[in-house]
Structure 1
Amino acid sequence: MAEEEFDVTPFDVEGTVDYDRLVEKFGTEEIDEELKQRFFDLAGDENLYVKRDFIYSHRGLDKALDEYEDGDDFFLYTGIGPSGPMHIGHIVNYYFTAWIQRKFDVNVYIQITDDEKYWDRDIADEEVDENVRDNVREVAAAGFDPDKTFIFRNREYMGNMYDGIVKIAEKVNNSQVKGVFGFEGSTSIGMNFWPAIQSIPAFFEDKRCVIPAGIDQDPYWRIQRDIAEKFGHKKTAAIHSKFIPALTGPEGKMSSSKPETAIMLDDGPEEVEEKIKKHAYSGGGDTLEEHREHGADLSVDTSFQWLRNLLLDDDERMREIAEKYSSGEMMTGEIKEILIEELNQFLEEHQDRKKNADDLVEKMMYEGDLAQDMWNRNIDLRLER
């Protein structure tokens, strides 16, 4: 049987992704059981996303854990792309990053890419500003330590890091950028310069940077890994997640521009119920008789995949749902009701935290311990010649 085609880039995902083939294509490593258990042991706790293999691939995580055991910790870096309202697929990475911060007691740097969205999406300044205000409050609600987290807008913080960006840009040529990102002659010169800006936070501390991100973002860090040692820094490590399948099925991923594919973070209980009942793709049989005889295909069922990978930490309950649904004892309508309940509980708690996030945002951007330290710094790099 011919392998199905799919395409994954930092800008788009098409088709049904084969994650084993994607690991081979990108040259990453799967998080095996030994590394997973070591990660949990050092954290002193298990994490749902890693336990269920939603977080499944890495570059250099083993090295970061080696150094941590030797007393040399790491720092975390992730970003916000303010192109519009956020959905549940966006926020998972921030909850995971905040979990790592709590368990390993490390700093987090969150880059707001208000420049890249302007170049890539042709969004007006006013819309970018509005998205930034909303997105930052969503991220602040994920549970970060406000004194160990620095959230910054590129266009606001640029003066503090431009010297370092200039040094990076000197060591990255057009052929590299074209090869990694597929840029063409029609690509904005802003986007050609963008990888240097994207790389600079990985040099904010003189220790290994660890980046939790979707696996589609991995190409960005290849640039940093190519040049890190030229500046006397360690190569960035990365921890990769799979994509949360769209409500409408396993092809592609959620999109804010296609409301039927996503649960937005500001959706209310009635909207969630309507979307799940109307759009959540079912792996169940087409008829009652067929479903009772063959059961559901769990691998393509949106409700099951969201519960398993994102929401339901209770292993015993998850096993019971899997057994009953795959055998045909549980119907599609029943598992959708479970998903609706779990999603609404998650969103209610998240929305409550967002309502009270303004003080946290101020600390993470300007007034917290790490933020104040960063506003007093000039980020520069020195070549090892």
Structure 2
Amino acid sequence: MAEVEKQVDDMKIEENKNDEEEDDVNPWSVVSKSDKGVDYDKLIKRFGSTKIDQVLIDRIALLTKQTPHRFLRRGIFFSQRDMHRLLDRVEKQKPFFLYTGRGPSSEALHLGHIVPFIFTKWLQDAFDVPLVIQLTDDEKFLWKDLKVEEANRLAIENVKDIIAMGFDKDKTFIFSDINYIGSCSEFYKNMLRVQKCVTFNQARGIFGFVDTDCIGKISFPSIQAAPSFSSSFPHIFGNKKDIPCLIPCAIDQDPYFRMTRDVAPRLKYPKPALIHSTFFPALQGAKTKMSASDPNSSIFLTDTKNQIKNKINKYAFSGGCATIEEHREKGGDCDVDISYQYLTFFLEDDEQLEKIKQDYTSGKMLTGEIKKVLIEVLQEVVATHQENRKLVTPEIIKEFMTPRKLKYTF
């Protein structure tokens, strides 16, 4: 069937199997061939997205009347799909909603996990829009060695960290797939509609499924697609089917939404817009993203001040030289130095960050000194989060996770 085999731009992944330098990026694994990490320009070309430029950043600043978030200013959110079309709606005072998620595979989140949530909170506040957060505990049951009950328990534990990020309870609905899908027929109907539109050949081409994968994995992309449609949340949007969403996520999640964007017009739904982040590197270097199963690969939100200090001093990959004398002469390499990379995510002051870059690159600042700055920054970030998490009660969790009408102006 010609139509089945047709390759649509939004679903296409241009693979060059003969290119040994190509990074391996998919929803379950990120491996780079370079010490500097993933080549994001190549990834944009391969995925068919659009690089975020200053024109888009300036437009966001104009419409929100706010200084763009540091993640935008520094290119941490670097790629997008249909952002200008979404901003056209904002200019016409037409609504949209935000959708992001978390796959709960561990009790403790690390710093990389919270990057999309930090930016999503800024977007929610800046645009004053409702937000849905999906916890894919079903996915983790299918992909990990977890019982259903354990995957669901981890989802609730992760909710505490998500709420501690400061989301507006009146404008945020957090749901577990395991708990929500059975209670909302409209969500399930949208899953079925997506499933009917995507062939196995297409799913295998997008996600790399093999014959030994369980059928649950093959059907799961429809579950991650469903929250892109306003009709999946009748308690929030009533019978409105034409409200688009914006999805902030790391770019490894893009395959799900290339599929969704291809299916949406056939269902007479608007395509979701996306804004993609780079990967938060492991302490050992930027070749891979962090693993929740390796406590030494990152800073976790449960770490003590002393653990943060020891991890950074012991494991943070350095861009400095072998000796002090050589470093003073040649300077450090900020492109591979993990302490500097982490500071680009969590140090708010642009001028201070630029001075650190200049001093480290020139050799004026040593590796131990840049690590000291990072330790102080991250100790404060994690301590603040831990205090906020203590305030999250079972009653507050229930409020966030109860299907209800959210407050918004449109």
- TM-score bracket, normalised by the shorter chain, equals over 0.9
What is aligned with 2:13?
Answer: none
Q: Aligned-pair distance for 1:368?
A: 5.7
**TM-score, normalised relative to structure 2:** 0.87
Q: Give the secondary-structure state (helix, strand or coil) at the position aligned to 2:105.
A: coil
| Alpha carbons of structure 1 residues 223 and 367: separation in structure 2 relative to 1, 3 Å | closer
| Alpha carbons of structure 1 residues 247 and 228: separation in structure 2 relative to 1, 3 Å | same
Kindly indicate whether residue 207 of structure 2 is the aligned counterpart of residue 185 of structure 1: no
CA RMSD of aligned residues (A): 1.5
Q: Out of 51, 54, 57, which is 1:30 matched to?
A: 51
Number of equivalences: 369
Instruction: Work out the CA distance in 1 between the residues paired with 2:51 and 2:180.
Output: 35
Note the residue ranges of structure 2 that are not aligned, 5 or more in a row: 1-18, 232-241
Note the residue ranges of structure 1 that are not aligned, 5 or more in a row: 372-385
Q: Give the secondary-structure state (helix, strand or coil) at the position aligned to 2:86.
A: helix
Instruction: Work out the CA distance in 2 between the residues paired with 1:109 and 1:135.
Output: 15
Instruction: Work out the CA distance in 1 between the residues paired with 2:172 and 2:196.
Output: 29
The one-letter code of the counterpart of 2:333 is D
Residues 169-180 of structure 1 mapped to structure 2, 5 A cutoff: 169-180=195-206
Kept in 2: contact 1:74–1:106 (CA 8 A): yes
Q: Give the secondary-structure state (helix, strand or coil) at the position aligned to 2:318.
A: coil
Instruction: Work out the CA distance in 2 between the residues paired with 1:149 and 1:164.
Output: 21
Q: Aligned-pair distance for 1:367?
A: 6.9
What is aligned with 1:12?
Answer: 29
The one-letter code of the counterpart of 1:13 is V
What is aligned with 1:374?
Answer: none
Question: Could you tell me the percent identity over the aligned residues?
Answer: 43
Q: Aligned-pair distance for 1:43?
A: 1.8
What is aligned with 2:234?
Answer: none
What is aligned with 1:380?
Answer: none
Q: Give the secondary-structure state (helix, strand or coil) at the position aligned to 1:102.
A: helix
The one-letter code of the counterpart of 2:212 is S
Q: Out of 148, 156, 166, which is 1:133 matched to?
A: 156
Kept in 2: contact 1:95–1:142 (CA 8 A): yes
Q: Aligned-pair distance for 1:164?
A: 2.1
Q: Aligned-pair distance for 1:130?
A: 3.0
Kept in 1: contact 2:173–2:403 (CA 8 A): no
Q: Out of 83, 94, 104, which is 2:117 matched to?
A: 94
Kept in 2: contact 1:79–1:110 (CA 8 A): yes
Moved more, 223-232 or 179-188: 223-232
Kindly indicate whether residue 88 of structure 2 is the aligned counterpart of residue 66 of structure 1: yes
Runs of 4+ in 1 over 6 A off after TM superposition: none
Q: Out of 104, 116, 120, which is 1:82 matched to?
A: 104
The one-letter code of the counterpart of 2:191 is I
What is aligned with 1:375?
Answer: none
Instruction: Work out the CA distance in 2 between the residues paired with 1:219 and 1:163.
Output: 22
The one-letter code of the counterpart of 2:43 is L
Q: 1:6-56 CA distances to partner (integer Å, 9 max, x unpaired)?
A: 211111001231111111110111000111111122122220111111011
Kept in 2: contact 1:40–1:47 (CA 8 A): no
Q: Aligned-pair distance for 1:176?
A: 1.2
**TM-score, normalised relative to structure 1:** 0.93
What is aligned with 1:341?
Answer: 376
The one-letter code of the counterpart of 2:78 is Y
Q: Out of 143, 155, 168, which is 2:178 matched to?
A: 155
Kindly indicate whether residue 316 of structure 2 is the aligned counterpart of residue 280 of structure 1: yes
Q: Give the secondary-structure state (helix, strand or coil) at the position aligned to 2:170.
A: coil
Kept in 1: contact 2:142–2:216 (CA 8 A): yes
